[in-house]
Amino acid sequence: MKTPIIDFVERYKDSHSLRFHMPGHKGKIHLGPELWDITEIAGADELYHPTGIIRASEENAARLFGAGRTVYSTEGSSLCIRAMVYLALLSAKTQGRKPVIFAGRNAHKTFLSACALLDADVRWLYPKDGNSLISCAIDGEALEKALSETKEKPAAVYITTPDYLGSLVDVKALAAVCHCHGIPLLVDNAHGAYLKFLPQGMHPLTLDADLCCDSAHKTLPVLTGGAYLHISKTAPSLFSENADRAMALFASTSPSYLILQSLDACNAYLDSGYRERLAALIHKLDKLKSQLTAHSYSLIGDEPIKLTLAPKSYGYTGDELHDLLRVHNMECEFSDPDFLTLMFTPDTTDEALHHLQSVLLDVPRKAAISVQAPPLPHPARVFSIRDAMLSPGVKITIEEAEGRIFADAHVGCPPCIPIIAAGERIDQDAVRCFQYYGIKTCRVIP
């Protein structure tokens, strides 16, 4: 597969042109990558008006992912999420629908800030059971019930899958329900770019989602910030016609060409043996997971390239086990009182896997911890997300918070999932949740 962005920058670098343009480093090495760090000069195309090398590279990505259109982001899935919400509202407007989105409660904070910026209302879809803030197991039946009970069709349904813990929801079933009601399905697939390359094809586009974002940088060998906005081949044409406009509305006018080159390189990487490398990694991880389970660790999640331990039954909180791994020079993606999540790619070495395995198998088992996470709050909405987030807000301690109206997108990062969303009244369950996750202060409406 060709790499038009890389090829252009290489040629420009080798031309030794005098750089009377931005960036200010002029190609002089201060950190290392400056020679390749250019801006939208002649021939370099324009990210949100692409007709040349960027367009060609995006078309390569669209072919790899089976998308009708793929748009690059150098500002993560966060930018793509704002664009998806904008596109959903634009489409709703043309159909005379209100700007309301039905969303799984485990949405990332960027979804909330997008709703605040665009003044969208959200109706939350809560999981039927399960207590984790991070997962939201919604099935087709629950979605059908929510949609048939509502008088006005929402602009879109928005779900987050895979979630931070590696759990997946049945995108195909949800897409079928959405399409029956004439509603687009938007998926935050920030953690799942690689899903396209599994033998069984588990990427949201393969499973009929209309729009999704993938943080290429989370699971593929791409520099931080590199992401895709994918539009399915069957999505309403309004989405692809307005995709660049939607991204440009929120994006910087100085996209990183280092990240664009990294996305370009990734196309070639995915096209040359990636499926096999991924399958080999999954085989090794399956073995590791079986050994850990046989050793009495309890594991959760469905994702083949994540490992999420629920170590309380083994006698440790997720944070304690993380600290133990840190002693052995390992840093994991996420931990909290209940879980410890590790992420792997084909670039994870066998040595790293063996080290992890031997350290985990050496951890002495202790008496199980019986303290459970408090119930998930279902707080009442008092203000719109926009009114609450655009209000000045005052910082108070959690002990003073009950009854007050929350004014921020979230507390705590990662996983950046709101215990309570902006504009909702902080109830007793929310206070218990704040305390359980060690959150000491929050911002409320004065």
List the one residue out of 347, 210, 220, 203 whose CA is nearest residue 271.
Answer: 220
Residue list 89-108, contact with ligand PLP (CB under 6 A): 108
Q: Which residues contact 80 (CB under 8 A, 6 or more apart)?
A: 71, 73, 213, 227, 228, 229, 247
Q: Which stretch binds ligand PLP (CB under 6 A): 6-14, 187-195, 238-246, 378-386?
A: 187-195
Distance of CA 56 to the CA centre of its chain: 25
Taking the C-alpha atoms of residue 307 and residue 387, their distance in angstroms, rounded to an integer, is: 39
User: What is the size of the binding site for ligand PLP (CB under 6 A)?
Assistant: 13
Interface residue with ligand PLP among 190, 325, 422, 431 (CB under 6 A) is 190
Q: Which stretch binds ligand PLP (CB under 6 A): 59-67, 72-80, 138-146, 344-352?
A: 72-80
Q: Supply 296's token pair.
A: 């009495």
Residue 133 in the binding site for ligand PLP (CB under 6 A): no
Query: Between β-strands 156-160 and 185-188, what pairing exists: parallel, antiparallel or unpaired?
Result: parallel
Residue 393 in the binding site for ligand PLP (CB under 6 A): no
Residue 408 beta carbon to ligand PLP: minimum distance, rounded to whole angstroms: 17
Residue 164 beta carbon to ligand PLP: minimum distance, rounded to whole angstroms: 6
Distance of CA 441 to the CA centre of its chain: 26
Q: Which stretch binds ligand PLP (CB under 6 A): 17-25, 185-193, 308-316, 394-402?
A: 185-193
Query: Between β-strands 441-444 and 394-397, what pairing exists: parallel, antiparallel or unpaired?
Result: antiparallel
Residue 77 beta carbon to ligand PLP: minimum distance, rounded to whole angstroms: 4
Taking the C-alpha atoms of residue 241 and residue 247, their distance in angstroms, rounded to an integer, is: 12
Q: Which stretch binds ligand PLP (CB under 6 A): 73-81, 97-105, 168-176, 270-278?
A: 73-81
Contact between 64 and 196 under an 8 Å Cβ cutoff? The reply is yes
| Closest to ligand PLP by CB, 215 or 317 | 215
Other Cβ atoms less than 10 A from the Cβ of 147: the count is 18
List the one residue out of 30, 45, 14, 31 whose CA is nearest residue 261.
Answer: 45
Taking the C-alpha atoms of residue 371 and residue 317, their distance in angstroms, rounded to an integer, is: 10
Q: Which stretch binds ligand PLP (CB under 6 A): 6-14, 75-83, 263-271, 314-322?
A: 75-83
Note the maximum CA span of the chain.
67
Residue 53 beta carbon to ligand PLP: minimum distance, rounded to whole angstroms: 23
Contact between 433 and 374 under an 8 Å Cβ cutoff? The reply is yes
| Closest to ligand PLP by CB, 252 or 290 | 252
Residue 250 in the binding site for ligand PLP (CB under 6 A): no
Taking the C-alpha atoms of residue 69 and residue 60, their distance in angstroms, rounded to an integer, is: 10
Residue 82, CA distances (Å) to 91, 119, 178, 212, 358 in order: 14, 12, 21, 11, 43
Contact between 205 and 190 under an 8 Å Cβ cutoff? The reply is no
| Closest to ligand PLP by CB, 188 or 424 | 188
Interface residue with ligand PLP among 37, 45, 58, 188 (CB under 6 A) is 188
**Residue least distant from ligand PLP (Cβ):** 76
Residue 154 beta carbon to ligand PLP: minimum distance, rounded to whole angstroms: 20
The secondary structure of residue 405, as a DSSP letter, is B
Residue 188 beta carbon to ligand PLP: minimum distance, rounded to whole angstroms: 5
Q: Which helix (H) or strand (E) holds 230?
A: strand 227-231
| Closest to ligand PLP by CB, 109 or 322 | 109
Residue 110 in the binding site for ligand PLP (CB under 6 A): yes
Residue 75 beta carbon to ligand PLP: minimum distance, rounded to whole angstroms: 7
Residue 132 in the binding site for ligand PLP (CB under 6 A): no
Interface residue with ligand PLP among 70, 78, 262, 267 (CB under 6 A) is 78
Interface residue with ligand PLP among 76, 255, 346, 418 (CB under 6 A) is 76
Which residues contact ligand PLP by CB under 6 A? 76-78, 108, 110, 160, 164, 188, 190-191, 215, 227, 414
